[in-house]
Amino acid sequence: MSTTYTLDTSTSRANPTPAPMKRLTVPAIQRRKQAGVTEQPVVMLTAYTARMAQLLDPHCDMLLVGDSLGQVIYGLPSTVPVTLEMMAAHGAAVVRGSYHSIVVIDMPFGSYEASPEAAFASAARLLKETGAAAVKLEGGAAMAPTVRFLTERGIPVVGHVGLTPQAINILGSYAARGRSDSEADKIVSDARALDEAGAFAIVVEGVVEPIAIAVTEAVSAVVIGIGASARCDGQVLVTEDMLGLFERTARFVKRYENLAEVIENAVKSYAGEVRERSFPSADQTYAPKD
């Protein structure tokens, strides 16, 4: 038995309650891919809060505390300004709100690139402060020594190749990658380098489909696509995008719901009732005791 934190949804408060530890493990995810084939694709979504984690957890294998929270939660123009402190705070919340999924935390820009030692310090802090199982970092062959350094010291790593948002100032846009032969070859070779360095999974983002398939077939790591191919070993999306909370989303996003409209209608109804003084009614107020 292990003490975890679950949410009492009747009060919206977190209360410590004993619960059996049922989380998936990194080796369990690795075993999904046998001889290059993944019979059961890996389901991954982003989560930034305890309540969202609680809702997603029963249906996902992995929850990603993405640095996309910079844009989704904080309204920043890119992921570049995101700090280690932000990632640690949201990562801890997601771990508290889940019990089944592996929680992976993005390492923010500037927290790992300088050296493997710097990366280890940042990654160790994230895992200690949050209870997450793994970290994710962007970059290909250049980051392979860092991936090896981390994995040899007990920190599971998810790689990230193709469109790497932290490099937006170099890339210049969020356009799909791999359209030229040289760029396509580099994406595949980057994935191989991360695989050989010990990454247990690799996110392939925003690449033309044949390259995503080539990467999936070229590595033993589980390949998780986003804007890639259904033939990857798994998929990830930003949850707020697939729930329709934003007007603009990338071409590769499928909206499974239009929650922006649901929320807007609910708030409109609330505002109307407040202004006409029909809320709160007797059902939402306290009468004196007899």
Q: Is the pLDDT of residue 276 over 50?
A: yes
Round the average pLDDT of the chain to a whole number and report it: 91
Q: Which two tokens stand for residue 68?
A: 């996309």
- DSSP letters of 57-84? GGG-SEEEE-TTHHHHTT--SSSTT--H
pLDDT, one tens digit per residue, over 160-216 is: 999 876 766 766 655 666 578 888 899 999 999 999 999 999 999 999 999 999 999
Count, residues in the chain:
290
Q: Residue 15: inside a domain, yes or no?
A: yes
Q: Residue 277: inside a domain, yes or no?
A: no
In the chain, % of residues over pLDDT 90? 82
What span, in angstroms and rounded, lies between the C-alpha atoms of 259 and 271?
Answer: 18
- Return the higher-pLDDT residue of 183 and 79: 79
Q: How confident is the model at residue 2 (pLDDT cuts 50, 70, 90)?
A: very low
Which position among 113, 129, 205, 261 bears the catalytic label? 205
Domain CATH code at residue 19: 3.20.20.60
What span, in angstroms and rounded, lies between the C-alpha atoms of 51 and 59?
Answer: 14
Contact 241, 250 (CB under 8 A): yes
Q: Residue 249: inside a domain, yes or no?
A: no
User: Number of C-alpha atoms within 13 angstroms, CB side, residue 233?
Assistant: 28
What span, in angstroms and rounded, lies between the C-alpha atoms of 206 and 23?
Answer: 29
Q: Residue 210: inside a domain, yes or no?
A: yes
Does 269 count as an annotated binding residue? no
Does 106 count as an annotated binding residue? yes
206 Rama class: left (phi>0) / alpha (psi -120 to 50) / beta: left
Q: Residue 266: inside a domain, yes or no?
A: no
pLDDT, one tens digit per residue, over 83-128 is: 999 999 999 999 999 999 999 999 999 999 999 999 999 999 999 9
In sequence order, the β-bridge partners of residue 207 are: 177
What span, in angstroms and rounded, lies between the C-alpha atoms of 211 and 217?
Answer: 10
Q: Residue 251: inside a domain, yes or no?
A: no
Q: What is the pLDDT of residue 8?
A: 58
Does 136 count as an annotated binding residue? yes
Looking at the structure of the chain, the number of domains it has is 1
Q: Residue 279: inside a domain, yes or no?
A: no
Name, in order, each residue with C-beta under 8 angstroms of 120's C-beta and a sequence gap of 6 or more: 149, 150, 153, 155
What span, in angstroms and rounded, lies between the C-alpha atoms of 188 and 238?
Answer: 24
Domain that holds residue 9: 2-242
Name, in order, each residue with C-beta under 8 angstroms of 230's C-beta and a sequence gap of 6 or more: none
The mean pLDDT value for 134-160 works out to: 97
Amino acid symbol at 47: A
Q: Residue 273: inside a domain, yes or no?
A: no
Does 67 count as an annotated binding residue? yes
The verdict on whether 217 is a catalytic residue reads: no
Q: Which two tokens stand for residue 132?
A: 């997450």
Chain centroid to Cα 241, Å, comes to 12
Amino acid symbol at 111: S
Does 138 count as an annotated binding residue? yes
